[in-house]
Each structure stands twice: as structure tokens, then as C-alpha cells.
Amino acid sequence: MMAGMLIMRSLLCACLNHLFPFIQQDLTDMRLSPFLLGCGAASTASVSATKIFVASYAGNVTTFSLEQTGSQYNLIKKFAHDGCAPNPSWLTIDYHKNELFCVEEGLEADIGHLTEFTINVDGSLEVRPGRRVETLVGPVYSVLYGPAGRHRSQSIALAHYTGSGVSAWDVSNRLESLELITEKTWAVDQASHVNPERQDAPHAHQVALAPGGRSIFVPDLGSDKVRIFTIENNRAAKGDKSNTISESAYPLRTAPGAGPRHVTFYKPFRACPDTFLFLNNELANTIESYNMTLVPATRHEPLHYDFQKVYSSTYFGANKTVPINSTIAEVALSPDSAFVIVSVRGDRSFNITNPDPKNSTVFPSDSLITYKVHVNGTLDLLQVVPAGGLQPRHFSMNGRGDLLAVGLQEGEAIVVFERDVDTGMIGKEVARYSGLGQVTNVRWNEEVFDGTNWGTEW
């Protein structure tokens, strides 16, 4: 019986893979994501006036309202909160509890911080009593996770770049202080040292929740590997802390000196086992795709992932050179899973007109690059456009995917672009707000799937 079911599933997946280009277009027209074929229809997010939260090394988390009148957009600054000072680096939102988590990097200190805010109806923030704690130094990324997927997230994991480690915190009891579950650090001798300046020690750059919500992937720029942690929900079994995480002995190893920075995941169809990992390597300036397969446990080996590389190129495409001193930064999957977008810092490929009509000067801009995703995990370069200024450290799309907000670290601004959901093309700039200090993160206050926040529901 089991063998017959597996055969039927394989035949179904083969059929879906063959029909994917046609099905995908229909799904795009209906604003559905390809991976939702196995779980019914999806709701769509409103594109009316919405809030955007912006973190900056200047010390504030700022609330903006993006307001639309006809075809005109306007970014209005509403509130600024310094409760995550001095160096906010990443924002994570629990949309179901109206909570925002901010990690503070501690650029000039030997500790970092994790702060939990309540998001009020008007978009203002309040630090929840007792919910700011000291952490290992250098947190630059966070992700919510839990035994029942992201909708019941009980814990949050942090990647510590300077601290060479990962930590996990229990956030389930809103009446108590945040409680440390796990802290894992790596010694200097675990770094690859291929690039003496950037790979002097292990440098965890991200924590990404894999499909199924049972593993957390940690790109380690300093060690040329993507570490993998297993989530262990052991409270019921052992009366111990729930959601502890333990490191697997089977990481994804990159080329020496590649410097893995961020990953995102792609599943062509929920009903099929195929899962792909898109990885951007900051030091090599490459984007890669791996087919990842879960290998069952045996008497000699534990459960682990096997990776087969199916695509690799520089961010400008195969066999293309990239500007010296440029570095690939963010990578994200579009909400419909049809496109991958990356940002590049320091390439200065464009000179753009000053958006101020009273200023006729031009200024340099780095790039945003869009790729078309194929069902076999390969990518086609689709578009290279200006990012609106320099050092686009982070960007994010709204829930519908028709607007994209970019955080410019050197440009000290947030820029919003139109985006065509059908073609994947990034369009004109529609709003901008400057003078924010070094922007590190931009986050829409609406639930967005970007390929890094998988849970059991996805």
C-alpha cells in the first residue's frame, strides 16, 4: 500500500512539474502561490494605507504610514521609539499577537539586546514590561518558531555575527521576562580564514525557518558553511524547556572563501517533496540553488539533509564579472514564489536623478536584481534596476507583492517601489523618506511570506 502511494505521489509530482508554467500563470492571475496547491485557497493582503517599521543604527525604530491617494503615495513619519537603542539591526513581527521583536547589535559593546514591543492600533510601539534582555553580542537576525508552526510561535532564535553563535529564547509567557533556552557559540579555529579580514572567526549571519518548521538554517559567513539546527519540542516528554535547538553534524559546506550570508527556501508544490535552497554568498558574490533532500535516520546516521547544487552564478548572471568592492546583501522569494530578488551593495551601477524636483543633481545607486524561478530550482536573470541609493542592506515586499520597500544603509533612507506581480518587474519609485541614519531593516505591518518564515501551515 505504501509503495503504491509513493508511486502515485511521484506521478502526481511529475505531472505538476510538467504543467507548472501554465498553472503558475493561472495562480498568479488569481494571486495564489504555487506552493498552496496542496492546501486550498489563500487570503490576500490589502494594499491600502499600511504601516512600515524601520530600524536604524541611529537608535530608533520608526513607524511610517504609507498612504495612497489615487496613484500617488506618501510616506508619513508617525512615531519613533528608542527602546531598542543604541544599534537596532533586525525586526521580526508576530502578526497574530501584534508584537514586534527588535535585536540590538551592540556595535561598541560586549553585549547585545533583545526587546519585545507591543504594536498599538495606531502603529506606535511600547516596550513590554520586563521584555528587554541582554544577549550574546552581535545579534543581526531573528526568526520566530514553535512546535505548531509560526502561528503559535513560542520561541525566537537569534544569529550573532560578532558573538560567533546562535541563541534561542522562550517568548511564550507574556507576563514573565524573556528566558534563554539555548546558546551555542563556536571557537575561532572553526572559521575558514580564507579571507583573513572577514573570516577571522565564525560569523552567524541569519536564522531561517525551513519548510515544515522543524529546522533552522544558519549561514555562517566566517566558516563557509550553512549550519543546521533541529528544533526539539521536549517540554511534554521531559518537563524541560521547550523548543531547544541542537546543531546537526551535517551542514551545507560552500566553496572556500564564499562567505554565505542569507538563504531562502522554495517549494514548487506543497504536495511534492522537492525543496530548494537559494543561497547568496557575500564574499564570492554568487547566488546558488540547492535541491535539498531529507535523508532518513539509520543505525549509523541521524536524520539529516543532503544537498545537490543545481545552479550557481554571480549576481549579474553566469560568467559575468562584478564590480570590485561590491557585496550581495539580501535575498527574498516573492510572495507568489515565482521570483527571487537580491540586493547588492557597493556596485554603483547607476546614476539616478534626484527625486527632489528642486534639485537637478544625480547621485549613484546600487542595484536590485530579479530572477525568474524555474520548477527545477534554476534561475534566469530578469531585471537589474537601481535600488534608489547606496547600500541597500535590506528590503521587503508587502503581502500582495506589488510594493517593495528598500532600506538604504549609506543612503540613510527608505524608498518604496512599485512592482508588477505578473511580470516580476520592479517599477518606478513611489515614495521616499530620508534622514533616518543608517537603515538596517524595513518591515511591513502585514503578514508576508518571503521564503524564510516557513511553518507547518505553509
Q: What is the per-residue pLDDT for 267?
A: 93
pLDDT at residue 359, as a whole number = 86
Residues 6+ apart with CB under 8 A from 58: 436, 437, 438
Q: What is the pLDDT of residues 121-135, one digit of tens each?
A: 999 999 999 999 999
What is the full DSSP assignment across 411-455?
Answer: TTEEEEEEE-TTT--EEEEEEEEE--SSEEEEEESS----SSB--
User: Which stretches of the chain score pLDDT less than 50?
Assistant: 1-9, 11, 21-47, 148-151, 235-239, 456-458
Instruction: Give me the pLDDT at residue 152, please.
Output: 57
Query: Which cell goes with 343?
Result: 540586493
User: For 181, how many CA atoms within 13 A lie in the half-sphere containing its CB?
Assistant: 26
pLDDT of residue 22: 45
Q: How far apart are CA 156 and CA 141, in angstroms?
A: 10
Q: Which CATH number fits domain 53-444: 1.10.1240.10, 2.130.10.10, 2.60.120.590, 2.60.40.10?
A: 2.130.10.10
State pLDDT tens for residues 205-227. 999 999 988 899 999 999 999 99
- Per-residue confidence (pLDDT) for residue 303, from 0 to 100: 86
**Stated length of the chain:** 458
Dump pLDDT digits (tens) for 256-311: 999 999 999 999 876 677 899 999 999 999 999 999 998 888 888 888 999 999 99
Domain ranges within the chain, ordered by starting residue: 53-444
Between the two ends of the chain, the Cα-to-Cα distance in Å is 27
Can you give the pLDDT at residue 147? 59
Question: What does the pLDDT read at residue 48?
Answer: 60
